[in-house]
Amino acid sequence: MKLLKPKNLDLNTIIGDGDSYSYLSNTSGRLINSVKKGNVLRKLIPEILYFINVCIYTDESKGDFRTTGFKRIRITDVHHVLSYKKMRQVIHFLRLQNIIEVHEIPEFITVNGKEFGINAKFFKLLAPYDGSTEIAEINLKTKRRVAINGKAKQLIETNPAIRHQFEMCSNYYFNAEDALIHANNFHNQKAINDKQWASMLDYIEKLRNKSVLFNYNEKTDRIFTIINMCNKELRHYFQVKRGNHCEDLIELDFSTFNIQVLHKLIDDSINISNINENLLIELDKLAQWLQEDFYKKIQDVGVMVDTLISRDEAKDLAIKHWQNARLDSWNEETKIMKTLFPEITKAMNVLKGNTYADYLKYSNGFMRIESQLVQEIYAEFIAKYPAVCIYNIFDSFMVEEQYKDNLRIIMDVCSKKYFKRQIKIKEKVTNKL
C-alpha cells in the first residue's frame, strides 16, 4: 500500500529494540497497560504508518473552535485496516511519543429519537512531524468491513425503499483496476495533490474489498453509504453487470440544489408582518437566475468588475462562502454575493442565527429537505423499476443509462411539486482517463 508519511519520521530509529515502552496489551480480549520491548512495538509499525497517513490526508475539522487544526477520524474510516483495539494501541503509542495530540470532545448523537453523548476523537500531528511529507510503500493487509448503525438496521427492516438502497449498496460492482489507473494518472499529471491521491488509494482499497457502509443520521435524514461517500473522481467506476459484460452508470444531478432550497426557505418565511418589497424583487431575480445558469451569472458579474473567476470558483463563492458559511467565517469574497443579494443575505443570516447550535439547525435543515425529496424520488422510481441499478448521491442519482429518461421524469415531477417551479436537471459528464 502506498501512503504518506512525514519525511523526518523514522520509526526504526524512534523504536529501539532493547528499549522499553508503555503498551496496551490485548490480553484475553481486554486492553491492559503493560511495558514491552521495542521488538514488540516494531510489529505495530505498518499500522502506525497507516494511521499517520490518514491523519495527513484527512481534511481539517470545521465548526467548533476547539477542533481547529485537528482531524476527525472515526473507526469506520480505518476499520478495513485497523480493528478498534488495534487503533487504540496505535493512538496510545503515538500520543506517548508526542507524535500526535488527541482531543476528545463531547458530541451528542440521536438514536431512535433520544440523544446520547459520545467522546468524538480529533487528531493533530505535532512538530516536527507536521511538515513536509513523502510517499512510502508498506505491506499491510486490508479486510472487508461492514458498518451499519442501529437506526439504519431498523429502517432496512421497515422501509422497502431503504431496504432496496441497502441491497444496492451491499452488492455493488466497482472497477478497482481502472479506478487505480485513473487515480495514478491524475496524480502523475498533477491534477490532484499527494493528499488527494492517498485518500483515493485508500478508498479504492475499501471498494476492492467490497466493504459496506450504510449509516443513517437522524438530524439530517441522510443515509451515508460506501457509494455516496466515494471520491467524486472515482464515482463513475461503479458499474452494473449484465450477463457477461459491465455497463457504465449515468449520473443525473439537480442544478444549484442548495440555492433552490435557500430560495424556498426564505420565500416560505415571508408573512404579512415581515414582507419586504426589495426582498421580493431579489427573490424573483434569484429565481430567474436559477432558471438560467446561476454560476454563469456570477461569472458575468465578476467580468463586469474586472475579476475573472472560473465556474468552480463561482460555485464556491455562492455555496461555500455565502450560503453555507457561518457569519464569523465570512471574508472579502462574500461581499460579492452580499452586494448582489443584500436582502436575501439578511434573511439568510436570520435563519443561520447567532450561535453554533443555531447554525447547525440551519445546516441540518438543508440536508433534511434534500434527503426527504431524494427518498421520495427513489421510492417512486423503484416502485416502477425494482430490478434497475440505482444509487443515491445526496442530491443526485446514478442509474443505468437506458433508464435515465425515466428517472429524469420522476425527478422533474417530484421537484416541481415541492418547489412549485421547474428545477434544472443535468447529466454529469464522466471524467475518465
pLDDT (tens digit per residue) in 359-414 = 888 999 889 999 999 999 999 999 999 999 999 999 899 999 999 999 999 999 99
Last residue of a domain, one of 137, 163, 179: 137
Beta bridge partners of 101: 124
Q: Are residues 429 and 286 in the same domain?
A: yes
Averaged pLDDT score across all residues of the chain:
91
Residue 56 forms part of a structural domain: yes
Q: Closest Cα to residue 298, out of 323, 279, 315, 278?
A: 315
Residue 87 forms part of a structural domain: yes
Q: Are residues 275 and 420 in the same domain?
A: yes
Residue 260 forms part of a structural domain: yes
Q: Are residues 421 and 274 in the same domain?
A: yes
Q: What is the pTM of this model?
A: 0.88
Residue 429 forms part of a structural domain: yes
Question: What was the pLDDT predicted at 431?
Answer: 57
Chain segment 214-268, per-residue pLDDT in tens: 999 988 999 999 999 999 889 999 999 888 888 999 999 998 899 999 999 999 8
CA atoms of 200 and 231, how far apart (whole Å):
7
Contact assessment for residue 146 and residue 206, using Cβ atoms and an 8 Å cutoff = no
Residue 302 forms part of a structural domain: yes
Q: Are residues 427 and 303 in the same domain?
A: yes
Ramachandran region, residue 158 (left: φ > 0; alpha: ψ -120 to 50; beta: rest):
alpha
The domain total for the chain is 2
Q: Closest Cα to residue 37, out of 54, 23, 58?
A: 23
CA atoms of 430 and 97, how far apart (whole Å):
45
Q: Are residues 265 and 388 in the same domain?
A: yes
For residue 195, count CB atoms less than 10 angstroms from its CB and return exposed for 0-12, middle for 13-18, buried for 19 or more. Answer: middle
Last residue of a domain, one of 137, 160, 175: 137
Residue 202 forms part of a structural domain: no
Question: What was the pLDDT predicted at 243?
Answer: 81
* Separation of first and last alpha carbons in the chain: 22
Long-range contacts of 86-91 (CB under 8 A, 24+ apart): 86/47, 87/51, 88/24, 88/31, 89/23, 89/24, 89/26, 89/31, 89/44, 89/47, 90/44, 90/47, 90/48, 90/51, 91/51, 91/121, 91/123
366: Cα separation from own chain's centroid = 15
Residue 216 forms part of a structural domain: no
Contact assessment for residue 334 and residue 345, using Cβ atoms and an 8 Å cutoff = no
Average pLDDT value for residue range 289-315? 86
Expressed as residue numbers, the domain containing 425 is 251-433
User: What is the residue type of 181?
Assistant: I
Last residue of a domain, one of 77, 103, 137: 137
Residue 226 forms part of a structural domain: no
Q: Closest Cα to residue 205, out of 85, 89, 78?
A: 78
